Amino acid sequence: MRGWRSMIAGVILRAKTMDSVPELFRKWILISGAALLLCRAGIAQVASQAPASGTSSGAKRGISLASKGRCSQAVPSLKKAVAQITDKKLKYDVLMSIAHCAMGLEQTETAVRTLLELNRSFPQDPEVLYLTTHYYSDLALRASHELAATAPSSPQAQQLEAEAFESQGDWGKAITQYRMILDQNPQRHGIHYRLGRLFLTKTPADLENAKKELGEELKIDPTSAASEFLLGEIARQSGQWDDAIGHFDKAAKLDEGFSEAYLALGMSMNSAGKFTDAVAPLESYVKMQPDDPAGHYQLATAYERTGRKQDAQRQVVLQQESATKAPRTPAQP
């Protein structure tokens, strides 16, 4: 599984949809609020979908109880029955009934375990993914309420609040909140980084303040690969290749598993005409992310421009294969 840092970096590298972000946040919040309603509606839905025939009468009884709202009785029998069920459809219905009931009964552990099992047994099932999305976001909401109730003045609570402002596009309040954290603890890791990121997210981006904050983060935490990466990306998008190369090189050295840093380093080297230098980081990247057409394309470019025509052609084939397989997303510049 790709690391969280790589996921962020991937988004940054391919960034272009900033204006849609606040709307997505709003949608997310709406989803969270709908979660509790969902678990109640879901039970009835599963019951209505319950099969007429099955291999386990216990399971069917459990589903029937759940459909009548008798979840306290239903869950134990369903949990007992599920291990013996071989029929896939019945198993699906039993697990969905358990999940919906557990959510309604606020049996968090059971609900989460059942959702994990549903995701394992029925990957990519839209209903499972839908239910999972709602429940996880509801859990997150509950945890944030608990944090706010129990430790309202903690840096974590302040940070969460700042992020909430950020997600709503209220940059001013978010900045104020982050500054409050730094006033209390100027050495706290990650806050200057977040401020830097926030300045980049604004429209138009505030590059100078972003660079300043990211620089401050590196003073506090010289091992912040993410800060180096963002500084590199600012330089790359401005065509300042040497500066970009320096930052991406540091990011890759600080975190050897940071695959996107290798890609960005190779891209910047290609853009700077340093094709020979680009080969090594791009070869590293395609080993780490063999399904990403970006790596193959950039490596093909580096090979081509250093006279390795056959290697370049091979990479073009891989680039085309991976581009074809890749899910259709808005293309990148």
Partner 1 sequence: MTSRRSHDSGLLSRRRFLQALGLAGIGSGICAPSLFSSEPSLLFATAFEEITANISGINWTHVSGRSPMAHLPETVGAGCAFLDYDNDGWMDIYLVNSGPCDFYEPSAPLRNALYHNNRNGSFTDVTQPAGVPGNAYGMGVAVGDYDGDGFPDLYVTQYPNSILYHNNGDGTFTDVTAKAGIAAPGWATSAVWFDYDNDGRLDLFVCRFVDYSKTKLKFCGDLITGERHYCIPSIYDPMPCWLFHNNGDGTFTDVSTVSGIAQSRAKAWGAVAADLNNDGRMDLYVTNDTLPNFLFANRGKGRFEEIGVLSGVGVSSFGKPRSGMGVDAADYDQDGWIDLFEANVDQEMYSLYHNEKDGGFTDAANPNGIGVATRLMSGWGLKFLDYDNDGDIDLLLCNGHPDDTVEKRIEGVKFREPMLLFRNTGKGFENVSLQSGSIFSKPLAARGLALGDFDNDGAVDLLVSQNNGSPILLRNLAGRENHWLGIRLVGTKANMDAIGAKVTYQAGGLQRHKFKVGGGSYLSSHDPRVVLGLGQRTKIDWLEVEWPQPSGRKERFTDLPIGRYITIVEGQGKWK
Task: Choose one: 7-15, 43-51, 96-104, 277-285; the region binding partner 1 (CB under 8 A).
Answer: 7-15
- Supply angle C-alpha 33, 36, 42, rounded to 5: 125
Q: How far is the CB of 181 from partner 1 (least distance, A)?
A: 11
Query: Is residue 227 within 8 Å of residue 234, measured between CB atoms?
Result: no
Q: Does residue 54 belong to the site contacting partner 1 (CB under 8 A)?
A: no
Q: How far is the CB of 116 from partner 1 (least distance, A)?
A: 13
Return the residue of 1, 19, 172, 325 that touches partner 1, per CB under 8 A. Answer: 19
- Work out which of 30, 37, 140, 151 binds partner 1, going by CB under 8 A: 140
Name the DSSP class of 169.
T
Dihedral pair phi/psi, residue 164, rounded to 5°: -65, -45
Residue 243 near partner 1 by CB under 8 A = no
For helices 293-305 and 275-288, give the axis angle rounded to 10 degrees: 150
**20 scored as a contact of partner 1 (CB under 8 A):** yes
Query: Binding string, 248-277, against partner 1, x = CB under 8 A?
Result: ------xx-----------x--xx-x----
Nearest residue to 100 (alpha-carbon basis) of 44, 52, 60: 44
Of the two residues 21 and 105, which places its CB atom closer to partner 1 in the complex? 21
CA distances to 28, 34, 175 from 167, rounded to whole Å, are 10, 19, 12
- 93 lies in the binding site for partner 1 (CB under 8 A): no
Closest Cα partner for 213 from 199, 202, 203? 199
DSSP character at residue 19: G
Check: CB of residue 47 under 8 Å from CB of residue 59: no
Q: Which range in 10-18, 46-54, 101-109, 110-118 contacts partner 1 by CB under 8 A? A: 10-18
Q: Taking CB under 8 A as the rule, which mask of x and - marks residues 144-183 in contact with partner 1?
A: x---------------x--x--xx----------------
Residues 313-332 that bind partner 1 (CB under 8 A): 316, 319, 322-323, 326, 328, 330-332
The type of residue at 190 is G
Which residues have a Cβ under 8 Å from the Cβ of 152 and sit 6 or more positions away?
A: none
Report d(CA 116, CA 7) in Å as an integer: 22
Residue 85 or residue 302: which is nearer to partner 1 going by CB? 302
Tell me the C-alpha distance between 224 and 6, whole Å. 14
- Closest residue by Cα to residue 118 from 139, 105, 135, 104: 135
Which region, judged by CB under 8 A, interacts with partner 1, from 14-22, 73-81, 90-98, 123-131? 14-22
State the minimum distance, in angstroms, from the CB of residue 17 to partner 1: 5
Handedness of CA 102, 104, 109, 113 (dihedral sign): positive
Q: How many CB atoms lie within 10 A of CB 46?
A: 22
- Quote the tokens at residue 20: 């849609």
Query: Of 177-236, which residues contact partner 1 (CB under 8 A)?
Result: 189-191, 193-194, 197-198, 200-205, 207, 221, 223-226, 230, 233-234
61 vs 142 by CB, closer to partner 1: 142
Query: Binder to partner 1 among 87, 105, 125, 136 (CB under 8 A)?
Result: 136
Residues 277-296 that bind partner 1 (CB under 8 A): 292-296
Complex with partner 1: residue 121 or 203, whichever CB lies closer:
203
Does position 108 bind partner 1 by CB under 8 A? Answer: no
Residue 51 vs 141, nearer CB to partner 1: 141
